[in-house]
Amino acid sequence: MSSEVKVPTLGESVSEATIGQWLKQPGEAVAADEPIASLETDKVAIDVMAPQAGVMGEHIAKEGETVTVGALIATIEDGAGAAPAAKKADPSATAGQQAPASGSSAPAPSASEEPAAGASVLSPAVRRAVLEYGIDPSKVKGTGKDGRITKDDVLAAAQAKTAQAEPAGSAQAPAPAAAAERREERVRMTRLRQTVAKRLKSAQDTAALLTTFNDVDMTAVIAARNSYKDAFEKKHGIRLGFMSFFAKASVLALKDIPAANAYIEGDEIVYHDYVDISVAVSAPQGLVVPVVKDCDKLSFAGIEKSIAEFGKKAKDGTLTMEDMKGGTFTISNGGVFGSLMSTPIINPPQSAVLGLHRIEDRPVVRDGQVVVRPMMYIALSYDHRLIDGREAVTALKIIKEAIEDPTRLLIDL
C-alpha cells in the first residue's frame, strides 16, 4: 500500500512552487515527518515532509518542474526498513540505489561508519553549502538540534579539508600552467531569484523612483552603544546593534510623514497606522526581506531580537512565509558589505526604502573647526507619485537628527 505525497499549503496568495531538490531517491528508506523534497516558492524554500514511514516510491514531479498546491508529486510505499539508518549495503535490496562501480566491492559499513542521526536532514542552506564545497555530509558531525548539520559545520569541514590539502600540495613542484580555458556555464535561476528580478524590474517600470541623500554623524550613537552594550546584553540576552536605532528613527520619520509608510493601490492611497519594517537580509538563495512587525511598539531589545532571529533563519534557510508577509517600509544595510553609497530600489508595493552604508572617519566642519568624525551616508529612495521631494527630504532629515541626537528617540521628537 502506498501513501501520496502532495504539495502542501504554501502560504497566502502563493499557489505554486518549483521542485528545487529531491532529498530522497526512489527505494531509499524514509522516516515519518522526514524532509523528502525542497520546494522553492517566490519567497522562501519549504521542505516537504514524509506523511508516513516507508520506502520512497516514484518521483512523479521532476526537479525544476513547477507544481501547484495539492498536486501529487511522489508516493511512499510501505516497507520494513523504514528507518533512515536501516539501509542495506546490498544495492539489490532497494530499487533506487545504484550498484557499485564495476570491479569493486562495497562492504556494509560498520556501526562506527554510519552517519550521525541528523546527517540526512539538511536545510536548503546546508545542502547548498555541501554541494558548493564538495563535502560529504555523512562525515560531518552536526552541532545543531538533534545532531543536525548546520552551515557552520559544513564551512568548518571545508576549512579543515583545505588545511589538510595545503601541506601535501606544498611538497610538490608546481605543475606548468595549463593553456587558458574559456568556459561557460548555464545555471537555471531559482524561483526566488526570478521573482526578485521581476519585482525589482516592476518597481522601476511602475514607480517614479527618486533618491535623496544625506550624511549622518554616528558619534552619539556609537558612544551610547559603547556605554550600554554590556548592560544591554546582560539584561536582554542580545547585543545592541545600530539597526534598532535606525528602525526607531524611521518610526519617527514615518509617523511625521505618513506618505512614506503608505502605498498606491489603483487610484487610492493606503495609509497604515502601524509600522512593519522589512529588513533586507542576504541569504544563501538570494536577498530576502523578513518583516519586523509593530516596530512602533517594540523596544530596542525587541527589535534586535527579531532581527537576530531572522538573520539566523536566513542563514539556515528556515524562513517561513509568515516571516516575509507584509511590510510597510524597508531598511537595507549595504554597509555591512562595504558600500559607501547606493540608490536602493523600493520593495513593492511599498513606497520608500532607507539605505544604510559603511561608517568611515571623514573630516567635517564643527563650530568652524575641521574635525574627524565617524560618518555614514544614508539614502532614501521613494515613489515620487506618492511622496513629494519635500516630504522625502524631511523624512530623511528626521532620521539624521534622531541618530545624531538619540535622546529624540526617547522623547518622541
Higher pLDDT, 173 or 17: 17
Is 236 a residue of the active site?
no
Domain for residue 32, yes or no? yes
**What is the share, in percent, of the chain residues with pLDDT greater than 70?**
80
pLDDT tens, residue by residue, 322-373:
888 889 999 999 988 899 999 999 988 999 999 999 999 999 999 999 999 9
Domain for residue 169, yes or no? no
- CATH number where 372 lies: 3.30.559.10
Residue 49: in which H helix or E strand, if any?
Answer: strand 45-49
Let me know: does 401 contact 248? Beta carbons within 8 Å: no
Peptide bond into 91 cis (omega under 30): no
Could you tell me the CA-to-CA distances from 307 to 229, 241, 268, 286, 303 in Å, in that order?
Answer: 16, 10, 32, 17, 6
Which pLDDT band, with edges at 50, 70 and 90, does 83 fall under? very low
What is the predicted pLDDT for the residue at 178? Answer: 57
Are residue 133 and residue 224 in the same domain, yes or no? no
Alpha helices in 99-148 (DSSP H): 124-133
pLDDT tens, residue by residue, 144-155:
766 778 777 888
pLDDT tens, residue by residue, 133-146:
778 777 888 877 66
pLDDT of 315 above 60: yes
What is the predicted pLDDT for the residue at 123? Answer: 66
Q: How much is the pTM? A: 0.65
Domain for residue 385, yes or no? yes
Are residue 252 and residue 356 in the same domain, yes or no? yes
* From 90, 136, 388, 412, the catalytic residue: 388
Are residue 301 and residue 383 in the same domain, yes or no? yes
Burial of 119 (0-12, 13-18, 19+ CB in 10 A): buried
- The whole domain housing 135 covers 118-162
pLDDT of 177 above 90: no
Are residue 139 and residue 284 in the same domain, yes or no? no
Which pLDDT band, with edges at 50, 70 and 90, does 104 fall under? very low
Are residue 267 and residue 144 in the same domain, yes or no? no
Higher pLDDT, 334 or 16: 334
Domain for residue 281, yes or no? yes
What is the predicted pLDDT for the residue at 95? Answer: 40
**What is the share, in percent, of the chain residues with pLDDT greater than 90?**
39
246 HSE (CA, 13 A, CB side) = 28
Please state the domain count of the chain.
Answer: 3
pLDDT of 106 above 50: no
Are residue 213 and residue 137 in the same domain, yes or no? no
How many CB atoms lie under 10 A from the CB of residue 66? 12
- CATH number where 74 lies: 2.40.50.100
Min mean pLDDT across 125-134, 267-276, 291-300, 347-356 is at 125-134
Are residue 231 and residue 343 in the same domain, yes or no? yes
Spatial neighbors of 246 by CB under 8 A, at least 6 apart, are: 331, 354, 356, 399, 403
Are residue 243 and residue 328 in the same domain, yes or no? yes
- In 293-385, DSSP assigns E strands to 329-333, 352-366, 369-383
Let me know: does 331 contact 345? Beta carbons within 8 Å: no
Among 27, 87, 29, CA closest to 54:
29
Mean predicted lDDT score pLDDT of the chain = 81
pLDDT of 61 above 70: yes
What is the predicted pLDDT for the residue at 201? Answer: 86
Beta-sheet pairing, 54-59 with 29-30: antiparallel
Classify residue 286 as left (phi > 0), alpha (psi -120 to 50) or beta.
Answer: left
* Rg, the chain, Cα only: 26
Are residue 48 and residue 134 in the same domain, yes or no? no
Domain for residue 37, yes or no? yes
pLDDT of 14 above 80: no
CA atoms of 131 and 128, how far apart (whole Å): 5
CA atoms of 185 and 64, how far apart (whole Å): 17
pLDDT of 235 above 90: yes
What is the predicted pLDDT for the residue at 313? Answer: 85
Domain for residue 131, yes or no? yes
What is the predicted pLDDT for the residue at 366? Answer: 92
Are residue 366 and residue 267 in the same domain, yes or no? yes
Domain for residue 203, yes or no? no
What is the predicted pLDDT for the residue at 378? Answer: 97
Q: Which residue has the cell 502532495?
A: 6
What is the predicted pLDDT for the residue at 168? Answer: 52
What is the predicted pLDDT for the residue at 350? Answer: 93
- CATH number where 144 lies: 4.10.320.10
* From 152, 236, 272, 384, the catalytic residue: 384
What is the predicted pLDDT for the residue at 30? Answer: 84
Burial of 348 (0-12, 13-18, 19+ CB in 10 A): middle
Are residue 298 and residue 361 in the same domain, yes or no? yes
Which pLDDT band, with edges at 50, 70 and 90, does 226 fall under? very high
Are residue 153 and residue 80 in the same domain, yes or no? no
Domain boundary among 98, 129, 144: 98
Is 357 a residue of the active site?
no
Domain for residue 381, yes or no? yes
Higher pLDDT, 361 or 126: 361
